[in-house]
């Protein structure tokens, strides 16, 4: 098969590992920068051009779309879908997961556990908004933030009010969540592929930090998850419609709570922590499902 990897940087660990896994299994891998693609949208023969050439013969796409190019990246991916190219994650599912508020509303509708969350444009009473999520301490998040950027822990009522008012003064979209103290600055990253959790790791925040992101100095270690945590992670990925997802959950006194569902989970931390060939598993999944789609189209 000819497999396209939609990535802006061919040297990133995840992109390199996916390319290696493709080639080890006898496939041709093509790294495609979505921002350098341009599209011919028509009802007869839609196409995508990249670096002056028509991208033809692509059998499957692995989207690794950065959060900062979600709109254009999903537009390119949608064009591939219009051309009947198999995508391991569809554009609509990626769009759902990237909209933090929408993703939480979808989890809520499916009854998946998550921290109590408040959202408002211009609340008449900031005190009531804080009270609604259980009072301080609270976590205040920018909707557009990634990798722990734009996330603030406000430990007192006065601090929370000040941060909320400051963000709103900048016309930023924010949400407020209850702080899960018993998690102890740790979360669990579950790597979901299809309907299974194929790997999981515990991420522990650095001393004096409450955000466990590896980009912010957090550490990763192998962890054994419970059947309930496994079911919750798979349910969260399915609520978004994602076949590949990094599901971040907190261990709370009332069970696992979903923090975020990531449609382009990094491979480096989880492969190193677990010793598993995650990239190879992804290619195996594509082999099975892309061929199934092709057989169905030929019938």
pLDDT at 97 over 90: yes
Does residue 296 fall inside a structural domain? no
Q: What is the pLDDT of residues 286-295, one digit of tens each?
A: 999 987 655 5
Residues 197, 123: Cα–Cα separation, whole Å: 39
Does residue 281 fall inside a structural domain? no
Does residue 55 fall inside a structural domain? yes
List the 60-63 sheet strands across, edge first. Answer: 28-32, 2-6, 60-63, 86-87
pLDDT at 92 over 60: yes
User: What's the CATH code of the domain at 214?
Assistant: 3.30.470.20
> Locate tokens 């492969």: which residue?
271
Q: Which tops the pLDDT comparison, 89 or 100? A: 89
Chosen domain end from 128, 160, 179 = 179
Q: Which tops the pLDDT comparison, 123 or 21? A: 21
Q: Which of 3, 9, 10 is nearest to 62 (CA)?
A: 3
User: What's the CATH code of the domain at 59?
Assistant: 3.40.50.20
pLDDT at 101 over 60: yes
Q: Is 178 annotated as a binding residue?
A: yes
Q: Is 211 annotated as a binding residue?
A: yes
Q: Is 38 annotated as a binding residue?
A: no
pLDDT of res. 299: 44
Out of 6-20, 23-37, 108-122, 229-243, which region has the weakest mean confidence (pLDDT)?
108-122
Alpha helices in 30-88 (DSSP H): 70-82
- Per-range mean pLDDT, top range of 31-45, 157-171, 196-210: 31-45
Out of 8-12, 167-171, 200-204, which region has the weakest mean confidence (pLDDT)?
167-171
Does residue 298 fall inside a structural domain? no
User: What's the CATH code of the domain at 159?
Assistant: 3.30.1490.20
The rounded mean pLDDT for the chain is 89
pLDDT at 212 over 60: no
Q: What is the pLDDT of residues 222-231, one digit of tens each?
A: 899 999 999 9
Residues 101 and 204 in one domain: yes
Residues 198 and 253 in one domain: yes
Residues 68 and 174 in one domain: no
pLDDT of res. 298: 46
Q: Is 213 annotated as a binding residue?
A: yes
Percent of the chain with pLDDT over 90: 67
Q: How many domains does the chain have?
A: 3
Residues 102 and 148 in one domain: no
Q: Is 179 annotated as a binding residue?
A: yes
Report the predicted TM-score, pTM, of the whole model to 2 decimal places. Answer: 0.88
Q: What is the pLDDT of residues 154-195, one digit of tens each?
A: 999 999 988 888 888 888 788 899 999 888 888 999 999 999
Residues 191 and 175 in one domain: no
> Beta strand 2-6 with 28-32: parallel, antiparallel or unpaired?
parallel
- Per-range mean pLDDT, top range of 18-27, 36-45, 218-227: 18-27
Q: What is the pLDDT of residues 140-153, one digit of tens each?
A: 988 775 555 778 88
> Locate tokens 């192998």: which residue?
222
Residues 103 and 187 in one domain: yes
Q: Is 141 annotated as a binding residue?
A: yes
Q: What is the pLDDT of residues 268-282, one digit of tens each?
A: 999 999 999 999 999
> Beta strand 60-63 with 2-6: parallel, antiparallel or unpaired?
parallel
Q: Which of 254, 105, 130 is nearest to 180 (CA)?
A: 254
62: containing domain: 2-89
Residues 20 and 71 in one domain: yes
Q: Which backbone phi and psi does 25 adopt, to 5 degrees?
A: -100, 15
C-alpha distances (whole Å) from 152 to each of 118, 145, 156, 175 are 15, 11, 12, 11
pLDDT of res. 117: 93
User: Treating both helix axes as pointing N-terminal to C-terminal, what angle do 100-109 and 227-240 enclose, rounded to 10 degrees?
Assistant: 120
Q: Is 14 annotated as a binding residue?
A: no
Q: Is 209 annotated as a binding residue?
A: no
């Amino acid at each position: 098969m000819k497999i396209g990897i939609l990535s802006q940087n061919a040297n990133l660990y995840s992109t390199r590992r996916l390319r290696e896994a493709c080639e080890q299994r006898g496939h041709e891998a093509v790294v495609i920068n979505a921002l350098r693609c341009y599209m011919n949208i028509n009802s007869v023969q839609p196409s995508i051009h990249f670096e002056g050439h028509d991208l033809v013969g692509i059998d499957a796409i692995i989207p690794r779309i950065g959060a900062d190019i979600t709109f254009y990246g999903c537009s390119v991916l949608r064009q591939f879908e219009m051309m009947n190219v198999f995508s391991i994650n569809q554009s609509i599912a990626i769009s759902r997961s990237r909209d933090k508020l929408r993703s939480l509303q979808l989890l809520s509708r499916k009854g998946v556990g998550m921290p109590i969350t408040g959202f408002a444009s211009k609340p008449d009473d900031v005190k009531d908004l804080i009270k609604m999520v259980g009072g301080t301490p609270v976590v205040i998040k920018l909707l557009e933030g990634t990798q722990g950027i734009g996330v603030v822990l406000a430990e007192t009522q006065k601090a929370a009010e000040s941060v909320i008012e400051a963000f709103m003064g900048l016309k930023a979209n924010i949400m407020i969540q209850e702080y899960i103290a018993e998690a102890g600055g740790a979360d669990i990253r579950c790597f979901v592929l299809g309907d299974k959790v194929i790997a999981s790791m515990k991420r522990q925040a650095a001393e004096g930090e409450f955000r466990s992101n590896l980009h912010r100095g957090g550490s990763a270690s192998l962890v054994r998850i419970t059947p309930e945590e496994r079911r919750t992670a798979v349910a969260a990925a399915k609520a978004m419609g994602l076949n590949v997802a990094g599901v971040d959950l907190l261990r709370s006194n009332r069970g696992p709570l979903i923090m975020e569902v990531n449609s382009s989970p990094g491979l480096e931390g989880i492969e190193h922590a677990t010793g598993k060939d995650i990239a190879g598993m992804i290619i195996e999944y594509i082999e099975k499902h892309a061929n199934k789609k092709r057989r169905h189209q030929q019938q």
